[in-house]
A and B are shown apart, each in its own frame.
Chain A
């Protein structure tokens, strides 16, 4: 069912990205939120909707001095912010609030004002996964990939090419953590983290944040920035345990979320000028390209390795350098959304010429959840 469109009229990242030990996690939310309010010319008293993950929306509203009539604390991992955009669209269309602030801030590297997460021993993960020695996402998110390689013949070199191509994009981005070009050999010779994944196929761990402000399409032209319209949205979840994924070669949450967003936007894959696929690890853009329907099953690896997603390729993908090279605080989805907004505003450092439609696709947990947002700089 197609909703009325809403628009993103404020968007900003934290003033700094990378290693920010002098800033606590909640102040990363605060810094990003204030930057987004300045971007849109709004004050806290203008905001009546607050959504966030990683912190409580109560904490964020109080910290910023906002009295909301609508909050959303949906926290399903790194794609939570895609779900917030989707929920905010529904809330604005329903009249529950008029101006929504979505914040993200994460002291993922410096761990200032943030606690480490470990599953409770009586939780399902604690009972049925933790006893076997996983050490966080690098050893969990990667578990399905050998099965994918076996089924589709994906090679280690093709997997490595995901990191190589994204580093090419990062080279254009002054704010990217890593910008020096790398080769397939560099990737395959980097330290083994969890076979078949090497260090350069795993995301960064950095500090940072970002925030978005959304209003109805009718109000969008009253703001200083070029509006970025939300054409379609999708969300779904599958399982909190990666070992219980229905199909190790495909994400059900990706497929459901992507289809929902494309159907709602009423666009085809050929209409997409710019694409962001959350890349916590090198296999995710491959799964994403296939599960969103850009290529057939098994074709994602060769598609990237052949250069289709690199600068100058036909489908620019992860143009900020992605979680592998730009930044990754833990819940990267906000940075994918920020890059889509920049591309639609025409202000991205690696700007895709004349881009009119951008798809921003996120993952939460280890293939646990998904959210998809389709944006355009043209009013629907």
Chain B
């Protein structure tokens, strides 16, 4: 999980292809902001992006910039890398619970990829890894000690 810049030609891992409903999320990542949506009435945040509140489409929703802080909720450490991830294995495929509530799949960077280093509940913060000129991926790193 090295953070060096690469070009599209070099980047061999699966890349997300934004849709109109998710474009703002990916544009935010490019700017270094974790953009989520929430209900204007209740403030409850949700993910992944969609232009309505799941379960109650009459609520008004808005984009906002999340704190980028969260905790490590769960993970596996993958020993069988798919194409593009050979140099990374073994690496954690993790789920982070954001302080705003939603959870998202990610990788934990700047951290040993071991059960000893990856403690459930540990505080993490977002960092953006540039994959191409269009796509930066939100990843998370441990904060504090």
| Residues of A bordering B, CB below 8 Å | 120-122, 124, 126-136, 138-140, 142-147, 150, 191-197, 241, 243-244, 248
B71-101 interface code vs A (CB 8 A; 1 in, 0 out): 0011111111110110010110111000000
* A142–B14 CA distance with the chains assembled, in angstroms: 20
CA separation between A122 and B22, bound complex, in Å?
Answer: 9
Is B130 on the interface with A (CB-CB < 8 A)? no
Are the C-beta atoms of B79 and A133 separated by less than 8 Å? no
Contact B137 A131 (CB under 8 A): yes
A132 — which chain B residues lie within 8 A by C-beta? 93-94, 105-107, 137
Q: Contacts A132-B106, A132-B107 given: A127-B17 contact, CB under 8 Å?
A: yes
Q: Using Cβ atoms and an 8 Å threshold, which residues of chain B touch A133?
A: 13, 78, 81-82, 84-85, 88, 91, 93, 107
How would you classify the secondary structure of chain A's contact residues: helix, strand, loop or mixed?
Answer: mixed
Could you pull out 30 A-B pairs where Cβ atoms are within 8 angstroms? A121-B16, A122-B18, A126-B16, A128-B16, A128-B48, A128-B104, A131-B14, A131-B15, A132-B106, A133-B85, A133-B88, A135-B78, A135-B81, A136-B82, A143-B74, A143-B75, A143-B95, A146-B74, A146-B75, A146-B76, A191-B79, A192-B77, A194-B76, A194-B93, A195-B76, A195-B77, A195-B79, A197-B76, A244-B48, A248-B95
**Is there an interface contact between A147 and B73, defined as CB atoms closer than 8 Å?**
yes
Q: Which of A127, A139, A145, A196 contacts B16 (CB 8 A)?
A: A127
Chain A residue contacts of B107, Cβ below 8 A: 132-133
B78: which A residues are within 8 A, CB to CB? 133-135, 139, 194
- Please tell me if the beta carbons of A143 and B18 are within 8 angstroms of each other in the complex: no
Interface Cβ pair total, 8 Å cutoff: 118
A195 surroundings in chain B (CB, below 8 A): 76-77, 79, 90, 115
Interface of B is mostly: loop
Chain B: residues with CB nearer than 8 A to chain A?
13-19, 22, 26, 47-48, 73-82, 84-85, 88, 90-91, 93-95, 103-107, 115, 120-121, 131, 137
Instruction: Given A126-B14, A144-B74, verify A134-B93 contact (CB < 8 Å).
Output: yes
Interface pair A143/B48, CB less than 8 Å apart:
no
Q: Which 6 residue pairs of A and B lie closest in terms of their CB atoms, listed nearest first?
A: A195-B77, A127-B16, A121-B17, A147-B74, A243-B105, A122-B17
Task: Known A-B contacts: A122-B19, A194-B78. Give 18 more (CB < 8 A).
Answer: A121-B17, A122-B16, A126-B17, A128-B104, A132-B106, A133-B82, A133-B93, A133-B107, A135-B80, A139-B76, A140-B93, A192-B77, A194-B76, A194-B79, A195-B77, A195-B90, A244-B48, A248-B74
